[in-house]
Amino acid sequence: MATYTEAGYNADDMENIFDTSARILAGWWQVIPPNADNGWRQQEVQLVREWHRREQYSANLHPAVRKAMRMSRPNDWQELLLQWPHSADTDPTRLAYTQNERKGESNLQTITSLGKYLRMHFANLPDHAIRDLVAAHGATGCKFVYTTDDMIGHLHRGPKSCMVWDSYKDEDADYDSHPYSCYDPKYGWHMAVRIEGGQTVGRALCIDGKRGKYWVRSYKATAGYSPSDEMLEAWLVEQGYDKQSAYNNGEKLRYLAASGDDFLAPYIDGDTKGVVVNRSEGYLAIEEHEPEFECNSTGGSASPVEGQECEDCGDHIGDGDGYWVGYHEDRHVCESCRENNYVGGEGRSGNTYYFDSEYAVEDGDGNYYHRSHLADCNMVYLHDEEDTVISIDDAVCVDGVWYEWDDDRVCTPEDTNHESKLKDDCWQCAATDNWYFDTECVEVGGDKYHPDDVPETTE
């Protein structure tokens, strides 16, 4: 139920013009600043329309009309102002307005439905927006209840649903044994109800969760199936609540032990019915992806979800979920353990699989390798970077230590049959720039030369 706003419409300007014009029509007191002859004083502006002052002082502008004016530009704001629509005294769900000057002076108002009036003055307002305004401002008897007893009481006195059990319609019934008691108010659960003639005709289970206030399903009393209560839902939107398709992951419910390892569980409305159980701390938590149980029964019990236990931490793994790790992929772990304890990379025999992150080493580009099987992956350690590896194709070996092939500290001497050496262990011919390792140099003028490249000199 998102609030509609007309594109490009400046509601603040419209409301300011409207309210200023209303004060002018009715007359108001203005403060006159002091001058040399007098101090501060008030002066009343001359009245333009006495009857309009009477209407403004007797009733506020109808809140649905004001809200509509915040959403969309009225067809004719001057006509809307003169009619001064407000709640009808005889029926608060209907609207009264003054049709013209003559009827205003005669103090005669016309009563109509809110929806008809909004359609008459707001041509650009969509039908769904008008419907929501009518529902919200036509709702009477709406309120919240915040105790378990009140929630279950309205549950059994109100619209039909799968959680209404005839055995609990007695006011002396033990509500602690009712699965609806799982919706413990200490976790933010409460109920919105709509009451007419002393009867609960609408209800919606609500929660004030970590990500805001919302509800998933509402019920309206009818002779048969209970549809959504649009009036109550519109009222909830007015209170700052949103409607969602499911309750959020992590929302908690009270854990109520039953016989053996069983526990009470309500039928959870919405798309997510899965929960995980924390018996030690006494709660259920709604879980969409890896639930242990499904709360999809009207009998007060939960159905186990087929799956396995994580071989690392023992948590439940839903059927089809989890990860197989190890070289033989023979160990099944949950997503959390996989993220925290394993990495995917190359290892034994150059194969790719998940292995213990304790043995992982990275190549600098985000690729991981098993440190015990680097040779299988054609990877080597750089000599001065213990936790970084490099492809053997991009490296050279100097006396059993690996360097990058373009490392400035490494050269390939002309006299070592293409065996790389460190430059610090070699010398460079000044004539050819070639490097030598075993050959003796000839020094001339402080420079080193290969015997075949010594320059000619004059005695």
What backbone torsions phi and psi does residue 308 show, to the nearest 5 degrees? -135, 175
Q: pLDDT under 70 in the chain at which residues?
A: 1-3, 28-48, 165-175, 260, 307, 318-319, 384-386, 458-459
Q: Which of 260, 297, 307 is nearest to 279 (CA)?
A: 260
Parallel, antiparallel or unpaired: strands 212-220 and 242-243: parallel
In the block, tokens 């098993």 appear at 370
pLDDT tens, position by position, 322-342? 899 999 898 989 888 999 999
- DSSP per-residue string spanning 326-343: TTTT-EEE-HHHHHHHEE
* pLDDT at position 385: 63
C-alpha distances in angstroms, 86 versus 64, 114, 229?
A: 9, 10, 25
Contact 152, 218 (CB under 8 A): no
Q: Could you name the CATH architecture of 140-261?
A: 3-Layer(aba) Sandwich (3.40)
pTM of the model: 0.53
* Spatial contact of 88 and 116, defined as CB atoms under 8 Å apart: no
Q: Positive or negative, the Cα torsion across 106, 109, 110, 115?
A: positive
For 257-316, the pLDDT digits (tens) are 887 678 999 999 999 999 999 988 999 999 988 888 999 888 888 888 876 778 888 777
> Comparing C-alpha atoms, which of 188, 157, 186 is closest to residue 173?
157
Q: What residue spans define the domains of the chain?
A: 11-137, 140-261, 325-398, 410-453
pLDDT of residue 28: 57
Please tell me the predicted confidence (pLDDT) of residue 17: 95
Q: Which residues pair with 191 in a beta bridge?
A: 145, 205
Decide: 295 and 265 in contact? Cβ < 8 Å: yes
What residues does 390 pair with on adjacent strands?
A: 380
Q: How many residues does the chain have?
A: 459
The count of other CB atoms within 10 Å of the CB of residue 63 is: 14
Note the pLDDT of residue 364. 78
CB atoms within 10 A of CB 397: 14
Nearby residues of 7 by Cβ (< 8 Å), 6 or more positions away: none
Contact (Cβ atoms closer than 8 angstroms) between residue 138 and residue 93:
yes
